[in-house]
Amino acid sequence: MDATENGNHQDDPGGDMEQPPAAIERPRPAINNQAGQRNATKEKENWPQRIEAVCAVLLVVITGFYTYYAAGQLHKMKRSTDAAEKAATVADQTLKEIQKGRNDTHDLAEAAKRQATDAGTLAQAAVDQVALLRDTLKSSEKRFALEQRPYIWFTSRKPIVQASTNVGWIVDSENYGRSPALKLRTCGLLMLRDTNLQPLPLDQQFKTQVPAPSFGNCRHRATNENRTLAPPGGKNMLVNLGRVITQDDVNFINSTPGALIIQAIAEYEDKMGNRYTTTSCDMWFPTGLIVACPYYNDMK
């Protein structure tokens, strides 16, 4: 029948096809239905276990991935730590070198400071030595100048005291030194004290009555100023009172010690240009003595 039907279909391919009869469902045995229910129930009961298994597998996978990732991060961290440690080591070495360099620089600075201090001390010692040599040289020059300097000194002769005449008193100036007196100038002054004055005091009161010799108050200046007087040469100078004396003046001079006083002053230089001054003051006593005044006999 199947073959006939197949042949009919082949012969009439364009005809209507007959549909096969519907399958007849037969009731299954009750036993099979109960087994299926048990399987279904069992499958429902196994789902949590399956989920746990899947979760466990996923957890293992995730843990493995995290472990791998963490290992990579740990490796990178270790590399970073190693690099940081290496950088710290290099920085520490650099810091130590800088510290050493700073210490060396400090030592060099201290050494330079000590050298500068020593140099300053040596320089100050040299300056002091030069100053000492200069002072010694000046002292030697001064001592030599004093040893070789000219010394002008005055010597008074006996005065000529006569009434109705101008009293004259000759003063000699001589060079007792070892070198010529250059630019020499001299001047003299003859004084007759007032008859109303008390006897001439010989203490400080002497200066109140008899002024110091000077070119400002002298009366007789040498005509040949700025002359040269070589040792042991000498010159004389006649000093006059400047007026005619009376017999009363003569009596006063011959009876009063120190009534007649003569002063002289000289200024001169040595070869080095040092200037000197000599002053002289003498008094006439009635006994015929010429006595030096208590002041004004100096050589400077």
Most confident by average pLDDT, 94-103, 142-151, 243-252: 243-252
Establish if 28 belongs to a structural domain. Answer: no
If asked whether residues 177 and 268 sit together in one domain, one would say: yes
If asked whether residues 209 and 293 sit together in one domain, one would say: yes
Extract the tokens encoding 116. 């500068």
Total structural domains within the chain: 2
If asked whether residues 138 and 171 sit together in one domain, one would say: no
Predicted local distance difference test score (pLDDT) of residue 27: 53
* Full domain range(s) for residue 293: 152-299
E strands of the chain, at which residues?
A: 152-156, 166-175, 181-192, 220-221, 227-229, 234-244, 260-269, 275-284, 290-292, 298-299
**Count of C-beta atoms within a 10 Å radius of residue 227:** 15
Instruction: Give the list of residues 6+ apart from residue 70 with CB closer than 8 angstroms, or none.
Output: none
Distance CA 261, CA 169 (A): 10
If asked whether residues 177 and 142 sit together in one domain, one would say: no
| 198-234 pLDDT, tens digit each | 677 777 888 888 889 998 888 777 666 778 888 888 8
Establish if 115 belongs to a structural domain. Answer: yes
Most confident by average pLDDT, 30-44, 229-243, 275-289: 275-289
Q: Are strands 181-192 and 275-284 parallel, antiparallel or unpaired?
A: unpaired
